[in-house]
Amino acid sequence: MLISILFFGFCFFTLIQLLFFCVFFLRFAIHKLNNNSDNTVNEAVSVILAVKNEAHLIKCNLRSFLEQDYNNYEVIVVNNNSEDNTASLLKEYQHVYPHLKVINISTNQVNVLEKKMSLAVGIKSAQHEIILLSDIGSTPKSVYWIREMAKHYLENRYVVLGYAAYEKNNTLLNTIIRYDNTYTAICYFSYALSGFPYRGNARNLSYPRSLFLSNYNYILLYNSQVIDEDLFANQIMNKKNTAIEYRKEAHILSQQPHSSFRDWLRQKRLSGRKGKNYSLKKSFLVGLYNFTGFFFYLTWIITIVLSFYNQQYLWFILLLFILRMSLQWFIFGKCIRKLDEKTLIKKIPLLDVFFMLIMPILEIDKNFHKKKKWK
């Protein structure tokens, strides 16, 4: 009796997983971007960066934003009360790059998350309608980054979701972080193509300044504990106004953000809190895949153990397991190639087991940890 219940439960969870692969993730796997290279993009763009005591990153990365192959853009750097030589260093850059605009602010006396306020000040100070968000700890992979992101406005799409990768190294932690980041991108690209856009990546995200100024609900998110700065986009995205951009030329590359597994877990707990700001439909859709994935593995393990004593369902269970894993490997493999993360493909099965079993634990644990103020 018990093995029969577990078997039918396993079949149900497998079916849901297969539906996700075929209905959602396959859309991104086979998607092809329109080639708009013949269209001249003349839309003015404001790139927004927030900094705080990051002079070392300014020296390494700021030029890559300032030397883009694009005629009509400005780079706004909001310096939030830095105590190092950030201010003087930015003045030096202003002498060389006239399209660099520096805003010095202090949020020490304001009860908000500092980085969100810095980005808001930058957006409100922008001269141009198209806002392109990134991070000073990142660099565009090419000089065509702005062009590739901005050209979607020619198609009347004004929320553009881009891809932001992490630098590769040979450590286990780096593999976990990169797969987590890539899987998240696969999700938000796939759901956007399916008509359910729900988030992007604040290191590579574009939307109109006017929409920011006219949607003051975003101010309510200032005091939240959420780690992502893309929640405003969640409020304005819909299936008609959202575009995705994943060409290599439009990628942003960042340093690995965490030096220990504990730091990464802390970040995962905090980023999970953003789900309360999604609509019920989007929250359900995002959570259902992880929920059924967890029970797919759990019921499979228990059923396999019990099947040693009752082999009635053994071969069918193994067949379903292989089907699900093979389909995921094929579809995720194509998605990962699109994102130029080919070294992760052979590790998909092991990483999938790890994430599917750990995510529910993080979901339970996420409410017991607080977010640091700046990032």
Selected residue with higher pLDDT from 125 and 359: 125
**Planar angle of CA 195, 128, 219, nearest 5 degrees:** 60
Q: Which of 129, 125, 144, 155 is nearest to 207 (CA)?
A: 129
Residue 276 pLDDT level (bands cut at 50, 70, 90): low
Beta strands in the chain (DSSP E): 45-51, 73-80, 100-105, 130-133, 138-140, 159-162, 164-166, 205-208, 242-245, 252-254
Q: Which residues contact 228 (CB under 8 A, 6 or more apart)?
A: 199, 202, 271, 274
Selected residue with higher pLDDT from 238 and 216: 238
Given 274, 291, 323, the domain boundary residue is 274
290-329 pLDDT, tens per residue? 899 999 999 999 988 887 776 777 889 999 999 999 999 9
31-55 pLDDT, tens per residue? 998 875 555 678 899 999 999 999 9
Whether residue 201 sits in one domain with residue 318: no
Distances (CA, A) of 131 to 44, 46, 127, 161, 210: 9, 5, 10, 12, 10
pLDDT at 340 over 80: yes
Whether residue 149 sits in one domain with residue 51: yes
Residue 106 pLDDT level (bands cut at 50, 70, 90): confident
Lowest mean pLDDT among 47-56, 88-97, 151-160, 329-338: 151-160
pLDDT at residue 77, rounded to an integer = 96
> In this structure, which amino acid lies at residue 374?
W
Given 274, 292, 317, the domain boundary residue is 274
Q: What is the DSSP letter of 260?
A: S
Across residues 261-279, what is the average pLDDT? 71
- In this structure, are strands 252-254 and 242-245 parallel, antiparallel, or unpaired? unpaired
Q: Which of 119, 58, 68, 120 is nearest to 92 (CA)?
A: 58
pLDDT at 91 over 90: yes
Whether residue 75 sits in one domain with residue 178: yes
Per-residue burial over 24-34, b if 16 or more Cβ lie within 10 Å, else e, is: bbbbbbeeeee
Average pLDDT of every residue of the chain: 86
Residue 358 pLDDT level (bands cut at 50, 70, 90): confident
Whether residue 300 sits in one domain with residue 265: no
CATH number at residue 65: 3.90.550.10
The alpha carbon of 265 is separated from its chain's Cα centroid by a whole number of angstroms, namely 16
Cβ distance 371 to 270 under 8 Å?
yes
Distances (CA, A) of 81 to 187, 223, 225: 36, 19, 21
Across residues 272-294, what is the average pLDDT? 77
Whether residue 212 sits in one domain with residue 318: no
Tokens (6 digits) for 294: 């967890």
Distances (CA, A) of 165 to 183, 232, 255: 11, 21, 9
Across residues 276-282, what is the average pLDDT? 70
Cβ distance 39 to 154 under 8 Å?
yes
Whether residue 295 sits in one domain with residue 168: no
Find where tokens 């932001």 sit. Answer: 164
In the beta sheet, which residues pair with residue 77?
A: 49, 102
Across residues 110-138, what is the average pLDDT? 85
Residue 373 placed within a domain: no
Cβ distance 162 to 241 under 8 Å?
no
Residue 108 pLDDT level (bands cut at 50, 70, 90): low
Identify the domain containing residue 81 by its residue range. 37-274
HSE-CB at 140 with a 13 A cutoff on CA atoms is 27
- In this structure, are strands 138-140 and 252-254 parallel, antiparallel, or unpaired? antiparallel
The alpha carbon of 125 is separated from its chain's Cα centroid by a whole number of angstroms, namely 25
Q: Which residues contact 65 (CB under 8 A, 6 or more apart)?
A: 47, 49, 75, 134, 139, 140
pLDDT at residue 320, rounded to an integer = 95
Residue 375 placed within a domain: no
Whether residue 184 sits in one domain with residue 152: yes
pLDDT at 374 over 50: no
pLDDT at residue 261, rounded to an integer = 86
Give the chain's domain count. Answer: 2
Whether residue 60 sits in one domain with residue 193: yes
Across residues 58-74, what is the average pLDDT? 95
Residue 374 placed within a domain: no
Q: What is the DSSP letter of 341?
A: -
198-237 pLDDT, tens per residue? 889 999 999 999 988 887 555 555 555 454 556 777 788 8
Q: Which residues contact 88 (CB under 8 A, 6 or more apart)?
A: none
Whether residue 224 sits in one domain with residue 163: yes
Residue 184 placed within a domain: yes
Whether residue 145 sits in one domain with residue 22: no
Tokens (6 digits) for 239: 């299936």
Across residues 7-29, what is the average pLDDT? 96
d(CA 234, CA 199): 5
Q: Which residues contact 172 (CB under 8 A, 6 or more apart)?
A: none
Whether residue 287 sits in one domain with residue 267: no
With pLDDT > 70 as the criterion, what percentage of the chain qualifies?
Answer: 85
d(CA 358, CA 355): 5
Q: What sign does the dihedral 328-332-333-334 (CA atoms) show?
A: positive
pLDDT at 372 over 80: no
pLDDT at 268 over 90: no
The verdict on pTM exceeding 0.85 is yes
d(CA 106, CA 1): 65
Given 274, 290, 305, the domain boundary residue is 274
